[in-house]
Structure 1
Amino acid sequence: MGPAIKSEFRKFFTTRMWWGMAIAIFIAAALFAVLFGFLLTIPPTQESIDAGQPTGSPLQIANSVYTSGLTIGYTLTLVIGIMQIGSEYRHKTITSTFLSTPQRARVMGAKIVALLGIGALYGLISLVGSVIAGAIVLKSRGFDPFPSAEVLRALALSLLVLGLWALIGLGVGILIPNQVAALLIAIGVAQIVEPLAGFALTFWDFGHEHIAKFMPSQATNAMVSGVTQGGDNAVQPLSWWTAALVLAAYAAVLSAIGTWRTVHQDIS
C-alpha cells in the first residue's frame, strides 16, 4: 500500500495544478475571512434578523470567519477528487496504473488515503490565510479572535471537510467517466442545484425541518458550528458530530460505489 500511496501523491504534486490551487485557496480564504469579518460583526437589529441576516454567538462568528473560504475550498477539492481518477481515464493511464499495481482495491485505497492527505494540506493552507486575515478584522472590530478553545475544533474539522469533499469528487469522477461532464455536473450541483433545492425546501415544512439540514453544504456548515440564518425560516443545524457523520456518509457511499465499479469493470 505504501508505494501505491506515494505514487498517488507523486502524480498530484508533479503537476503545476497543485500550487496554482494552493494559491487560489489561500487568497480566497483570506478574502472571504475579511468580507465575513466585516459582515458578521455588524450589530444586528430585529428588522435585519427577520429579513434573514445571519446571527450567532462570538464563537459562531469566529468560526464562520475562519471557515468562510470553505465554499471555495471544498469546490476545489471536489475538482481534485474528480481529476485524480478522471484524468487517468481521459489520458488512458489507468491501464498502466493497474498493471503496476495489479490489485485494484489497493489502488483505490491509495487514492482515498492520498485525497484525504491532499484535502488536509489544502485545509492548512486555507486556515493560514483565513486565520491571519480574520483575526486582524475581528480584533479591529472589537471581537475576541479566539473566544473559546472550541474554535480549534472547528479549524480541525475544516481539514476533515476538505478531505471528505475530495472523496465525494473521487466517487463522482468514477461514476461519470467523462471528466469534463463530471466536473460540470459536480460543480453545478454543489454551487447551483443544491442551494436552489435548499431554497425550494423552505416552502415545504417537512423538507425544511427534516431534509435541508442533511444536505452536504448544510452539514459542512454545521460541522464548523457557523452562524445560522436569522428569522422564521432558519434551519436548525445538526450537531457538529452528526454533521460529520452525514458528510462522511456521502463520501463513503460515493467512494465505495466508485471503488466497487472500478474493481469490477473492464479496462481497455
Structure 2
Amino acid sequence: MIPAIKAELRKFFTTRLWWGMAIAMLVIGAGLAVAFGYFVTAGAESGAEGVPTGTAEQVANSVYTGGLSFGYLLTLVIGIMQIGSEYRHKTITSTLLAVPRRGQMMVAKVVALLVIGAIYGLIFLVGSVAAGALVLNAQGYSPFPSGGVFRTLALSLLVLGLWALIGLGVGILIPNQVAALLIAVAVAWIVEPIGGVLLSLWDFGRDHIVPYLPSAATQAMVNGVQQGGPDAAQPLSWWAGALVLAAYAAVLAGLGAWRTMRADIS
C-alpha cells in the first residue's frame, strides 16, 4: 500500500501542475484575505440588512477563509485530473498492471488526494493568515479572538481534501477529462449558486435544502459572518456541515470506486 501511495504522490509532484497550483493557492489566500478583511470588518457590526454581521471570531474566520471557494475549486480540479488524466493519456492500464488490486489502487489515490489537499491547505492558510492578520490588526480586530479560529483553520484543510475527493468521484464517473472539468466547475460555480438563490425564494427550500448544498455545508464548517438579513437560510453547525460535505465526498468517491472495480479497462 505504501509504495502505491508514494507512486500516486510522485505522479502529481513530478509535473509542473503542482507548483503552479501552489502559487495560485498562496496568491488567492493572501489576496482575498485582504479584500474580505476590509469588506467584512467595515460592516460586521453595523446590523444593516444585507450587510455581513457576526462576532469577532466569525469576522476572523471569514477573513482567513475568504478565498476558500477558489481554493476548493482548485482541489476539485486536482481530484478530477488525478484520475481523468489516466483515462485521457491511457495510463490507467499501466497503473492497474503495477497495482493489479483495484481496491488498493483506489485507496492509494484517496490517501494521496487527502495529502495533496492538506499540503495545498497549508499553503493557502500561510497566505491568508499572514495577510489577514495584518488587516485585522489594522482594523482594530484581534487576529485570534478565540480557539474557534484555530478549529476553523484545521477544518479548512479538511474542506480542501474533501473537495479533492469529490473531484476524484466526478473524474471517474465522467471519464472524459475535459467534460468532467467543465461540468464540475459549472455546477460548483454557476448551477449550485443560482439554484441556491432560487430555492431560497421557497420557504421549504430555504430551510431544508439550501443548508445541505455542498457550498453551504462548506461555509457552515468555517463559521463565518452571515449575509442576507434575518430571512436568509440558517447555516448548519460546523460539525453538521462537515458531515454533509463528507457524505458528498463519500458518495461520489464511493460510486467512482465501484465503477472502477467493475469497468473493463484495456
Distance (whole Å) between structure 1 residues aligned to residue 130 and residue 231 of structure 2: 33
**Offset at residue 45 of structure 1 (A):** 3.8
Distance (whole Å) between structure 1 residues aligned to residue 201 and residue 147 of structure 2: 38
Number of the residue aligned with 1:124: 122
Distance (whole Å) between structure 1 residues aligned to residue 51 and residue 175 of structure 2: 41
> Are 1:231 and 2:229 counterparts?
yes
Q: TM-score, normalised by structure 1?
A: 0.97
**Offset at residue 197 of structure 1 (A):** 0.5
Q: 144-153 or 225-234: which moved more? A: 225-234
Query: Is contact 2:30–2:130 with CA below 8 Å preserved after alignment?
Result: yes
Query: Is contact 2:46–2:53 with CA below 8 Å preserved after alignment?
Result: no
Number of the residue aligned with 1:4: 4
Distance (whole Å) between structure 2 residues aligned to residue 45 and residue 122 of structure 1: 35
Give the aligned residue type for 2:232. A
Q: Deviations over 1:39-68 (max 9, x none)?
A: 01114545xx32x12211110010010011
Distance (whole Å) between structure 1 residues aligned to residue 260 and residue 161 of structure 2: 21
Give the aligned residue type for 2:227. Q
Give the aligned residue type for 2:35. L
> Are 1:79 and 2:77 counterparts?
yes
Number of the residue aligned with 2:110: 112
Q: CA RMSD in A?
A: 0.8
Number of the residue aligned with 2:63: 65
Q: 230-239 or 30-39: which moved more? A: 230-239
Query: Is contact 1:154–1:223 with CA below 8 Å preserved after alignment?
Result: yes
Q: Deviations over 1:196-231 (max 9, x none)?
A: 001001110000011000000010011011111141
Which stretches in structure 2 are left out of the alignment for 5+ residues? none
SS at 1:68's partner residue? coil
Number of the residue aligned with 1:207: 205
Give the aligned residue type for 1:226. G
Count of residues in correspondence between the two structures? 265
Number of the residue aligned with 2:36: 36
Number of the residue aligned with 2:25: 25
**Offset at residue 109 of structure 1 (A):** 0.4
Number of the residue aligned with 2:164: 166
Q: 111-120 or 37-46: which moved more? A: 37-46
Number of the residue aligned with 1:142: 140
Identity of aligned residues (%): 68
Give the aligned residue type for 1:144. S
Number of the residue aligned with 1:217: 215
Which stretches in structure 1 are left out of the alignment for 5+ residues? none
Q: TM-score, normalised by structure 2?
A: 0.98
Give the aligned residue type for 2:6. K
SS at 2:41's partner residue? coil
Give the aligned residue type for 2:182. L
**Offset at residue 116 of structure 1 (A):** 0.4
Query: Is contact 1:119–1:163 with CA below 8 Å preserved after alignment?
Result: yes
